Amino acid sequence: RGKRAFIAGVADDNGYGWAIAKSLAAAGAEILVGTWVPALNIFENSLRRGKFDESRVLPDGSLMEISKIYPLDAVYDNPEDTPEDVKSNKRYAGSSKWTVQEVAESVKQDFGSIDILVHSLANGPEVSKPLLETSRNGYLAALSASSYSFISLLKHFIPIMNPGGATISLTYMASERIIPGYGGGMSSAKAALESDTHVLAFEAGRKHKVRVNTISAGPLRSRAAKAIGFIDMMIDYSLQNAPLQKDLSAEEVGNTAAFLASPLASAITGAVVYVDNGLNAMGVGV
């Protein structure tokens, strides 16, 4: 039987989540996605109207199929812990069962189990503020949406993951090196995500034979990255300074995710894998 993947954090065809879905689909996996509730309508309508058809084309000429799209807000674990004002917010009231626990339950009901879990989401409301000017709430919100969201997804999906399964998240070098402009606690959130990758690899490996890895990706002009505001500068910097002076395509990250999720990577867990044209290895810019 082919493998089944749930990819959290796909709302258009520009980001890493979409590229990972495509690489997994090209390798024969069935694709389920979790889409942020406020972005759900636009994504579903665009998909239905054929707006993504060109970017759905797989290497064999067929179009990527998404078996089901689940509304998801990874900041909320279950209905009991979700504030009333969020539940009654008109962007949320039109959808149901979008907390992490409910999405895992729905996937279990619809499909029984999954083999691959991908976390391709982040949010930091104060990302444009330097860390020194970040509020407590902004900092905690960045950690909640970008780091704890992975713990919550793993916790709720691991019972329906087949042994030998794999999970992957996306991180950024700002966790370990100074990247001015990646503020609001987002650098801290990525540091937490990478540290958690180690601890969760141990716990999920021992408990369920599930692997946990993260991809430290180079700069991509995604919707989220454009919102930060310095993405073109980061892309230029990489072109100037990385060992490989070429564009980084989302597909290169997608292909790495497909490798990490496959039996070819059966002994790799707890790893931070750099897919950045080698930029992380440089000590100085030249």
Residue ranges binding ligand NAD (CB under 6 A):
9-11, 14-17, 36, 39, 72-75, 120-123, 145, 170-172, 217, 219-220, 222-225
Q: How far apart (Å, rounded) are the C-alpha atoms in residues 34 and 44?
A: 12
The pair of three-digit structure tokens given for residue 146, joined into one six-digit string: 């970008």
* Shortest separation between residue 209's beta carbon and ligand NAD, angstroms: 25
Task: Give all strands of the β-sheet with 4-8 in edge-to-edge order.
Answer: 66-72, 30-36, 4-8, 114-119, 161-171, 211-217, 272-275
User: Which single residue brings its beta carbon nearest to ligand NAD?
Assistant: 15
**Single-letter code of the amino acid located at 265:** A
- Whether 16 sits among the annotated catalytic residues: the reply is no
* Shortest separation between residue 42's beta carbon and ligand NAD, angstroms: 10
State which residue, 40 or 158, has the beta carbon closest to ligand NAD.
40
In sequence order, what DSSP letters do the residues of 229-265 get, joined into one string? S-HHHHHHHHHHHSSS-SPPPHHHHHHHHHHHHSGGG
Other CB atoms within a 10 A radius of the CB of residue 86 amount to: 15
Residue pair 114/160 in contact by the 8 Å Cβ criterion: yes
* Shortest separation between residue 278's beta carbon and ligand NAD, angstroms: 15
State which residue, 18 or 267, has the beta carbon closest to ligand NAD.
18
State which residue, 74 or 200, has the beta carbon closest to ligand NAD.
74
- Whether 182 sits among the annotated catalytic residues: the reply is yes
State which residue, 29 or 122, has the beta carbon closest to ligand NAD.
122
Candidate list 16, 182, 237, 274, residue with the active-site label: 182
Q: How far apart (Å, rounded) are the C-alpha atoms in residues 241 and 53?
A: 35
Candidate list 16, 139, 172, 237, residue with the active-site label: 172
Q: How far apart (Å, rounded) are the C-alpha atoms in residues 256 and 233?
A: 25
* Shortest separation between residue 1's beta carbon and ligand NAD, angstroms: 28
Known catalytic residues are 172, 182
